[in-house]
A and B are shown apart, each in its own frame.
Chain A
Amino acid sequence: MQDNTLKVRRKEKVAKGMLWLASIFTIGILIAIVGFILFRGFISDRREEFDVIDRGNEVTLMGEEAIPVAVVVNRKVKIDDLTVAELKELFMGARSNWGLLSEQDIDVRVFALRRGTEAGDAFAQSVMGGDAYTDDIQFFDSDQKLVEKVASLPGAIGFVSGDVLKELDRKEVKVIPVRSISIVVNPEVLELRDNRKLRFLNEGQLKAIFSGRVKNWRAVGGINLPILPVHFSHGSALNENFRTLMLGENEDFAAGSIVVDSLSELFDILNSTPGAVGFCRFTDALDFEQQIVKIEKRTVKQNINLRFLLEQPKRAGVVGGVSTVILNTVFMIVLTLLFSTPIGIMAAVYLTEYAKQGTLIKILRFGTETLAGIPSIIFGLFGFLFFVTLLKMGIGLISGTLTITMMILPTIVRTSEEAIKAVPLSYREGSLALGATQWQTIVRSVLPPATPGILTGVILAIGRAIGETAALLFTMGTDYRLARDLTSSARTLSVHLYILVKEGISFERAFATGTILIAVILIVNYTTNKLVGRMTRMATAKG
């Protein structure tokens, strides 16, 4: 006897343990998925690779004579720094809009100091490297006039002589640091050996390399080769610049570093000494492009913000927010609800209350259940062929909504049926016995208690509609502007997310959109639960 109870008790413990495991596993997965999306939705973590180091100077020495030059932009441009390559693109006219650089939809206007001026020549030599300016550029003789112009035009960028900087009224324009220093190495450092190859370095690693804390390339992801830092003599302005930028005011280069006096000496050493690493201006390194080490810059900042919710998308979604997309999604939900709920509930009522149980019903039920399981993309295809093409409704709100309605109708009918069937027969009997008609009985004593169940089913179906992507791509289109009428193409949140990722527009924005989607689902589910709970409590409350 006792043996048996022990066995039973052990089995119970095992079962309980497995249940616990399953629950924790499920919750774990949920937290992992939702948590990750929310995390990346709120905090963007961007990693980019550049040819120049992370830090820049407000005053950069340009040209052979090392003329101090400062870059200024209009206050409206939201940019923290620029690389020399980006500067060149702007001044060459390769970028007509600040777009991805500053995530703003502002046109670029470039202004330069005329050739013949010291700064003008230095800039043209160092940054442009002999290539021509854009045709839309405007030249100035005086620094003051240039600054005035830049201050007055949103999106304007220009440069002035570094000496002028002190007298500059900082309130008018913003001075942008320019990142112009590259890291160059001995070719062997970048070799592939033993399955290892140095791909990029980050700021922390650079600091460790030049201060001598790290002595072998292996420690920073490269091959097994001792590091040999090279720097210029202490009198060189570039050297001082690099030292303060990378190592800090009080630190010095590694003890065993090689010291050179000129650029040519630097490259002689780099080419002859295995493991050597040095630095120089980007424009000077262009002839030795293969030897520039890529620098990884990591930007962690707030991703989603109120602006994202309130602004419209611009420039293919590169810039701006998702306000119109949210509204389009709302339109889609409301219209779908309008079509699917009455039809679904009426069908369920008919099936449970009026229809004679027989073969026809069995066929209908089989059809409904099968439809409920068909992949949504098939519905999309059908919707495209039927609503968009055959009925000539075109790609727009109405075609998309009708397609989604067809998709979720079986689910709504099924859950409504279950909810209605769950209403106790005694309510019906009581109502009929009082002389009510069948219709009155349904409306007054069957549907009200069934409402929580019906509502739950409707909300679940809507949840599926919100997440629908493929079907809507074919039938509702991708226009991110606010839908104007029933035939307008309109993009919803899921479709927007898909496009952002597929077209490689912005992973950060995709995560932000995903966060909004999750928030919408959470809100919808939470409100439904509260509503259903309140209804159920009112109906069955014990006093």
Chain B
Amino acid sequence: MNGSSENKWKISTVNLDFYYGDIHALKNVSIDIAANRVTAFIGPSGCGKSTFLKTIDRMNDLIDYARVEGKVYYEGIDIYREFDVTELRKKIGMVFQKPNPFPMSVYDNVAYGPRVHGIRRKSTLNEIVERSLKRAVLWEEVKDRLHQPALGLSGGQQQRLCIARVLAVEPDVILMDEPTSALDPISTAKIEDLIYELKNNYTIIIVTHNMQQAGRISHTTAFFLVGEIIEVGPTDQIFLHPKDKRTEDYISGRFG
């Protein structure tokens, strides 16, 4: 829990405080996220995990009465003061809890990001779409219906589509906010496998309610409680030998 802004950490936060109007949602959060690893945030509902996630790609900017204090660094750069927000979001992608494909065709969904960033040539887009869908392990299932509405896909497929969509802009970091909580067990398993594959090329931060999921796929786990990080460390250690009693209580199911 080093307060430095060294480049070897993909993302670092230093004394991050976040306010929703008068509500102090995040308290003095300082954490370093390693590259090419899966970091899981766990904790009971309302403890601030999703809020924290959104401060990393500045999605909280959308809220009028939100206020950020402290610093967030991406590869050593202060994202709130020295980084263009659209560029930032290109580097840091997000997958939401409820799959939210656009009301367009599968193809157009995946091509949305690249198009927005200026890629126009058909052949390039075709390549990107195919590559992204393959990486999201969705290509085989949709390759014959690329131009049909994305809303016609099943829940699990839609979520993988959203992942493909994020992959299409070639980010460094992928933020996932409870990506499988709205899905059935089989789709969940598929996506967990996918996340495990993706970690080789991307840095992944996943917020999850499901401790078994955190245990299965993450290297590092951070335990949030009422806006503060209580404990952070290698996943095995957190689950098997938690240092803090509160962590132990949560993990053994005594609350949350």
Contact = CB atoms under 8 A, between A and B. Distances in A.
B98 interface: yes
A448 B165 contact: no
A429 B152 CA distance: 21
A202 to B, nearest CB: 66
Interface stretch (B20-28, B57-65, B189-197): B57-65
A259 to B, nearest CB: 91
A445 B112 CA distance: 9
Interface stretch (A48-56, A86-94, A431-439): A431-439
Given A429-B59, A444-B112, A435 B90 contact: yes
B89 A542 contact: no
B62 A445 contact: no
Contacts of A432: 59, 62, 89
Contacts of B98: 426
Q: What's the interface size class on A, roughly?
A: 20 to 34
A357 interface: yes
Contact of A434 (B62, B101, B165): B165
B124 to A, nearest CB: 17
B86 A437 contact: yes
Interface stretch (A4-12, A183-191, A332-340, A533-541): A533-541
A434 B116 contact: yes
A356 interface: yes
A449 interface: yes
Contact of B166 (A426, A429, A434): A434
Given A426-B96, A427-B103, A429-B96, A540 B151 contact: yes
B169 interface: yes
A373 interface: no
Nearest to B145: A543
B149 interface: yes
A445 B102 contact: yes
Interface in A514-543: 538-543
Contacts of A428: 62
A190 B213 CA distance: 104
B116 A433 contact: no
B77 to A, nearest CB: 16
B87 interface: yes
Interface in B71-121: 86-90, 93-94, 96, 98, 100-104, 112-113, 115-117
A244 interface: no
Given A433-B59, A434-B169, A543-B148, A444 B100 contact: no
Contact of B96 (A356, A430, A538, A543): A430
Given A429-B96, A436-B116, A539 B89 contact: no
A445 B103 CA distance: 8
Q: Which among B89, B94, B103, B169 has the highest number of chain A CB atoms within 10 Å?
A: B103
Contacts of A102: none
A440 interface: yes
Contact of A356 (B64, B115, B148, B165): B64
B151 A435 contact: no
A357 B103 CA distance: 28
A435 B117 contact: yes
B89 A427 contact: no
A448 B98 CA distance: 21
Contacts of B96: 426, 429-430, 433
Given A429-B96, A540-B149, A435 B103 contact: no
B59 A435 contact: no
Contacts of B149: 538-543
Nearest to B153: A543
A437 B57 CA distance: 14
Interface string A357-380: 100000000000000000000000
A435 B112 contact: no
Interface in B109-149: 112-113, 115-117, 145, 148-149
Q: Which among A428, A429, A433 has the highest number of chain B CB atoms within 10 Å?
A: A433
A543 B86 CA distance: 32
Interface string A446-473: 0011000000000000000000000000
A429 to B, nearest CB: 7
A353 to B, nearest CB: 11
B40 interface: no
A423 to B, nearest CB: 9
A434 B59 contact: no
28 contacts: A426-B96, A427-B100, A428-B62, A429-B59, A429-B62, A430-B96, A430-B162, A431-B112, A433-B59, A433-B89, A433-B96, A434-B112, A434-B165, A434-B166, A435-B117, A435-B169, A436-B86, A436-B116, A437-B116, A444-B112, A445-B102, A448-B104, A539-B103, A539-B104, A540-B103, A540-B151, A542-B149, A543-B149
7 tightest A-B contacts by CB?
A: A543-B152, A435-B90, A426-B100, A539-B103, A435-B89, A434-B113, A433-B94
Interface of B: 57, 59, 62, 64, 86-90, 93-94, 96, 98, 100-104, 112-113, 115-117, 145, 148-149, 151-153, 162, 165-166, 169
Interface of A: 356-357, 424, 426-437, 440, 444-445, 448-449, 538-543
